[in-house]
Chain A
Amino acid sequence: MQRTLLIKTVVIIVVLLVFVFGIFGKPDKFSGDGLKQAVLNRIHLGLDLKGGMHLILQVMVDEAIGSETDRAIEQLKDEMGKQGITYTDISKPDPEHAEKIVIKGLPIDAGPKLRAYVGDYLRQYSVTSGPDGWIVSMNPSEAASLKEQTVDKSIEAIRNRVDTLGVTEPLIQRNGMGKEQILVQLPGVDDLERVKGIIQSTARLEIHQVFNGGAPFPNEQVALAQGPIPPGQVLMHASPIMGNEGTPDQVYLVSKIPVVGGTDILDARPSTDEQGRPDVSFNLTAAAGQKFAAFTSAHNENLPDPNHYLAVVLDNKIREVASIRQTIRDRGSISGGGFTDQSAGDLAMLLRSGALPASLHYLSESTVGPSLGADSIRSGVKAAIAGMLAVLVFMLIYYRGAGVNANVALILNLIILLGFMGFFGATLTLPGIAGVILTVGMGVDSNVLIFERIREELRHNKAPAAAVDQGFGRAWITIVDTHVTTIVSALILIFVGSGPVSGFGLTLTFGLLANLFTAVFVSRVIFDAVLNRKQRGQALSI
């Protein structure tokens, strides 16, 4: 008896030490501030306590499908040109179904050739014949995996961007409840609008060939009045940042396929142009550099071809148009003014971190200002202390000696709960604090259940030791039942809920699990220790 009691006491002390370590880790200093910092290093404050931003973004995955099929259309046109196959039209008629390409007016014998070509070179597509022509469409499984990849790449790009902003503990993940959505949580961010802009910016930098010399059309109507747009060329608008007096909507005619694409950028950094204004210079990858060198040696000022102008295009807006003076190998810059030091730095960072594969739309955004977070911590702590004190005092008055027992168990319960959170690096939210408070209230339930049962047994004139034994034995099953029901609810909250709500479920679950140990095991050991010291027949303080 003595021996087992000793072993159990040692177990309790070890558990206590382990979870105290869970809360504090190894603090640098044992001062008040040092300990506080140590706790915050292990248990993170959620953004409702720290202030920050919670965003849900929709990835427009159809755009990625669209650019994939655009490429396929170019490839098909090329091939049909080579084989001398005539057709009247090749297009994507249904904007809702970007994966479907329709080719009209093909001669009858071209069908097998088309099938053979698609089978060999466009394996992710299949060919069917429809009422108004041949349909080349991306296989559903292929489209689905492309969509998945697009979301993954977007998450990656956002993560790169957020990392360079120096946000601590960002959370960037798929949003479980919606399709193709991303959840972004940025605690402690203080210039939300800028950060939002940076996340959303597609940052697709491309260089296109310009076909109407260096001079823009003043607007789209004038450009269209020049006659039909030649194949392989498109009209593109200039960014308002390009100095444009009196003509806000300048338009250029540029190549549809860029000379340098979004994935060809190797590195970018802020720099200054000849006039000392901020700009952004970039380097190309080796492969793109070769391609670019070949292009610029074939089209430059020294040659008769008038189309020796290039447009630097950012997110489908022209930022700069310049004449090619000589062969350029692998470097370039976006100048033309309009940058501040910060915006040049931001753009360089965006180019380095890679373009988004598709654009993003914000679906919901919630921000908590820093002053509210601080107030919430204050009121949360106040409520926790008030609730805890009320419970401790009541238990002392109502159960006297056994009340001390319950209070020790309760405090141990809290230490284990916080220790759990420290070990898991869990995030404490304001509802999470409520979960801690509720744990106090529900945790003490187990003790009440046991004590009431012991009192009942004592009333039946059982000896204290027998009454304690019966009390714990009979209450145990009930305690398990009641804990299971609450934990089922809490687990649903963890898995179905998001952010603060799942934080609540988490603390409640941890708290109740710890309670099984403290209210039953620890409490029992304390009772046994007390009974051991008592003379036979001496009354129990309960």
Chain B
Amino acid sequence: MEFFRNTNIDFLGKKWWFLAFSLVFSVAGIISMAVRHHKTGDWLPLGVDFTGGTKVYLSFADARNEREIHSALSHAGLQRAVVQRLSGGDTANQLVITLDEKDTSQAELSKGKNQIIAALEGNAPAGKQNLNNNDRIGVSAVRDALVARDPLHVGTEEYERIARQVIDARNQSPGGVLKSVDDLKGVVPAPVVESLKQDFFTSNFAVRRADIVGPQVGDQLKRQAKLAVGFSLVGMLVYLWFRFELIYGVAAVVAVFHDTLITLGAFSLTNQEITLTVIAAILTLVGYSMNDTIVVFDRIRENVKLMRRESLSEIVNRSINQTLSRTILTSGLTFLTVLSLFLFGGEVLRGFSFALVIGILIGTYSSIAIAAPMLVAYQQWRARRGSGAAPVPVAAGKGKVRAKA
């Protein structure tokens, strides 16, 4: 089976179309970033990792609407809280509550989170603890409560075993929410359930995850992320310079920069949060997008030696066509895996896999439509300036080409 055989598409002839396409997407992204910068002072929709703040992921036992939750939080003094519904198949009844850095106290980091929990618990029965609060109630707390009441007249070790069953049952119930203490009937003996009822109640929600970042760490992470992206771009430039020629490195880095810009633009346009894992995805893209570019460049270098009489634009066109099958196939296969990550990978990886899905599409496009045409444009520009006595910036001329290539 073969999808492409002896294609002969004039890619360079369509460079104006490519340019227009890239410009439209880059500019759309930049405009959306500029609008955001004007409104909020930030260029990108940064997550609490970078801005500092509190983010609490909750799962509820039943359907909730955002407004109802928001008003409960407002009553507790958290007017600026942002309540969002999680999107995606497996995330029914799940909400995210975000507090900005002003509601996140550096002196008492978990204050905002505890305020949210208290506000949503509402009127907790006096003297009872929330069995669904997995921050406070674990095996040891349940064990101690049982030991104190001693419903079965057995030893501490036996209560510890029962407590572990209770906690496991809670953690394995949907969303980690026990609807009532009575749900434990059948898991542990009835007298234990009766005893637990006297010490515990159940809220209709549980905290799935909480990220609280103080401003200092946020700034550190921001700096770290910028450094990482910068380092990898420079690293690629140096590697390509070393392996090919400077202009090849520059062309590849421009293409990768273009990919990064459009991917970030997509986050800005769809208003998805940029977290630390998204930055990881973007770094991976930098490497991956370089892959395709290198394959095309390798072939160009090989063909420059073979086709001495043809012009560079013909060589580049031929090289792109020769590698087209493999470029589309490899990107397509990687895209398949990334797509399965996006579809099935769950809420935590949503942003990460979104970046990869966009990035792989754009990265493949850019190696064909940006990086290779840039080489030709550079050569034509040199020819016009008349300085290029040699018509082709022959990579092979450096004598770095191996016998096999």
Which A residues are closer than 8 A to B by beta carbons? 48, 51, 56, 58, 177-178, 189-194, 196, 341-342, 361-372, 374-376, 378-380, 382-384, 386-388, 390-391, 394-395, 397-400, 430-431, 434, 437-438, 440-442, 444-445, 448-449, 452-453, 455-456, 473-474, 476-478, 481-482, 484-490, 492-493, 496-498, 500-501, 504-505, 508
Contact = CB atoms under 8 A, between A and B. Distances in A.
Contacts of B211: 364, 366
Contacts of A367: 135, 207, 209-210
Given A371-B172, A441-B333, A492-B283, A434 B341 contact: yes
A190 B288 contact: no
Interface in B1-40: 1-2
Given A378-B346, A431-B280, 4 more contacts: A191-B140, A362-B109, A380-B346, A444-B330
A488 to B, nearest CB: 5
Contact of B337 (A58, A372, A390): A390
B130 interface: no
21 contacts: A48-B348, A191-B141, A194-B140, A363-B214, A365-B212, A368-B209, A370-B171, A371-B171, A372-B208, A390-B337, A431-B280, A438-B334, A438-B337, A441-B333, A442-B288, A452-B329, A477-B402, A484-B239, A485-B290, A489-B232, A496-B231
Nearest to B356: A438
Contacts of B352: 431, 434
B206 to A, nearest CB: 7
Contacts of A441: 333-338
A488 B336 contact: no
A498 to B, nearest CB: 8
A501 B276 contact: yes
Given A496-B227, A500-B277, A370 B333 contact: no
A481 B287 contact: no
Contacts of A434: 341, 345, 349, 352-353
Contacts of B217: 56, 178, 363-364
Given A191-B140, A369-B207, A448-B333, A505 B135 contact: no
Nearest to B235: A488
Interface of B: 1-2, 57, 59, 90, 106-107, 109-110, 134-141, 144, 167, 171-173, 175-176, 206-214, 216-217, 220-221, 223-224, 227-228, 231-232, 235-236, 239, 243, 276-277, 279-280, 283-284, 286-288, 290-291, 294-295, 298, 322, 325-326, 329-330, 333-341, 343-346, 348-349, 352-353, 356, 402, 404-405
B348 A376 contact: yes
Given A178-B216, A379-B346, A386-B343, A477 B298 contact: yes
A461 to B, nearest CB: 14
Nearest to A512: B287
Contacts of B139: 190
B281 to A, nearest CB: 8
Given A191-B137, A492-B232, A492-B283, A449 B326 contact: yes
B206 A371 contact: yes
A442 B363 CA distance: 14
Given A481-B243, A500-B277, A178 B220 contact: yes
Contacts of A504: 277, 280, 284
Given A178-B220, A363-B216, A477 B284 contact: no
A379 B343 CA distance: 9
Given A444-B333, A482-B294, A497-B276, A371 B208 contact: yes
B136 A193 contact: yes
Contacts of A453: 326
B224 A394 contact: no
Given A431-B352, A434-B341, A374 B172 contact: yes
Give the interface centre of B175, B325, B334 by most chain A CB atoms within 10 Å.
B334
A378 B227 CA distance: 34
Nearest to B3: A398
B224 A177 contact: yes
Nearest to A444: B333
Contacts of A448: 326, 329-330, 333
